[in-house]
Structure 1
Amino acid sequence: MARRNTPEINAGSMADIAFLLLIFFLVTTTMDVDTGISRKLPEKQDPNIVPPVLKEKNVFEVNVNRNDEILVEGDTYMKVSELRAAAIKFIDNGGGTAADLQKADLSPCTWCGGDKDPASSDHPKKAIISLQSDRGTSYAMYISVQNELVGAYTDLRNIYANKKFGKGFKDLSVAEQKIIKKDIYPQIISEAEPTK
């Protein structure tokens, strides 16, 4: 019996097809990049520790309802574009009396450019922004409010850096930025559970 030759498969074009499929999937596949709001979560508190008493004047309340309306301090409706200026005025007030600041081991805020209103925040380290939104609040409004509140801190840090060092906050060394973030204008934004 004669031996039969097995037919060869032309594999030359297979490499081309595999390469084309690879290119096709690389071009059409989307790479998901996680983005979001950078926040440091608080550490778990010991249940035996009594939380500190906060003065109401040191809390700046911002509520966003399901109609995307912003209510500030419980009685003033505000546009998103006005929120940053109101937050800056609150944070930079520096209206604490010497006795109040001494109790909290804080020196008077000599760098604060605010009105020194005794009915508003005592010191930037004591100024807390409380944000509460409704579950029906649009994502765009929530992000806009967050952006304005964080922008208030960014603006204050830039103003301070320009006065003290003669350059913007981003141009400072990491150590100088850390001092401003920790000791001068610490970002204290408290987010409450959304309402139903």
Structure 2
Amino acid sequence: MARRNGAPEVNAGSMADIAFLLLIFFLVTTTIETDAGLDRMLPPMEPPEEDVVIRQKNIFTVNINKNGQLLVEDELMPLNNLRDAAIAFLENGADGSCDYCQGSKDPASSDNPSKAIISLKNDRETKYSTYITVQNELVGAYNDLRNRASQRIFGTDFTEMESEYLNPETASAVRDELKDKVKRIQDMFPQKLSEAETTSN
């Protein structure tokens, strides 16, 4: 009887099953990091039925040109002064209704934090890093005011309370307790940051 000279064949019938199991293993065990992004609320789909009248003194305008320069309330301002200027505007308390505001009560500036709006506008050629830095400074102004109010009322920073409240691993009883505290501070200094349309020149 003649012997075969060919190489022995490898049984590859189960290779597809092994590859499929490996694929499922990596899909289940891999963690995908997600970026937090910017916390912004989009405008509603339909415009409001009634026009909302906003007094110009309650709007704090910040413009960024393509060179990264800031025009704040129609005056050039360095970036490191932006946070302090925003804080002064937000807690001005011109109408006297804000008993926790420590502002100068300038009648030409915002009435109270619930009416104060920061309007950010940038050029189409503005660098993204500049845009994010300005955003951080403006959000930092809100956080500084909220931290100060939270320290005075609850003895802890607002940012710590909020991060613990938003953490999904926090016990539900603790989250329920933090919910009212976080909302109270947010209502004292509501974050009203409006982004106007960009300009091309």
TM-score using structure 2 length: 0.75
Label 1:131 to 1:46 Cα distance change in 2 as closer, same or farther (>3 A).
Answer: closer
Deviation at 1:91, TM superposition (A): 0.2
Residue 126 of structure 2 corresponds to residue 137 of structure 1: yes
Q: Give the residue type in structure 2 aligned to 1:53.
A: V
Matching residue within 157, 167, 188 for 1:168: 157
How many residues were matched structurally? 169
Q: Give the residue type in structure 1 aligned to 2:198.
A: P
**Range that drifts further, 170-179 or 120-129:** 170-179
Q: 1:1-196 to 2 correspondence within 5 Å?
A: 2-4=2-4, 6-8=6-8, 33-34=34-35, 36-46=37-47, 49-74=49-74, 76-96=75-95, 108-172=97-161, 173-181=178-186, 183-196=187-200
Q: Give the residue type in structure 2 aligned to 1:177.
A: V
Deviation at 1:176, TM superposition (A): 0.5
Deviation at 1:36, TM superposition (A): 2.7
Partner secondary structure for residue 112 of structure 1 = coil
Deviation at 1:62, TM superposition (A): 0.3
Describe the superposition over 1:83-118 as per-residue Cα deviations: whole angstroms up to 9, x where unpaired: 000000000001115xxxxxxxxxx10000100111
Structure 1 unaligned runs (5+)?
Answer: 98-107
TM-score using structure 1 length: 0.77
Q: Give the residue type in structure 1 aligned to 2:64.
A: V
Describe the superposition over 1:107-138 as per-residue Cα deviations: whole angstroms up to 9, x where unpaired: x1000010011110001000000000001111
Deviation at 1:3, TM superposition (A): 5.0
Partner secondary structure for residue 76 of structure 2 = strand
The separation in 2 between residues aligned to 1:46 and 1:137, in whole angstroms, is: 29
Partner secondary structure for residue 118 of structure 2 = strand
The separation in 2 between residues aligned to 1:32 and 1:135, in whole angstroms, is: 30
Identity %: 48
The separation in 1 between residues aligned to 2:140 and 2:160, in whole angstroms, is: 17
The separation in 2 between residues aligned to 1:130 and 1:69, in whole angstroms, is: 16
Deviation at 1:6, TM superposition (A): 4.4
Deviation at 1:42, TM superposition (A): 1.8
The separation in 1 between residues aligned to 2:142 and 2:117, in whole angstroms, is: 12
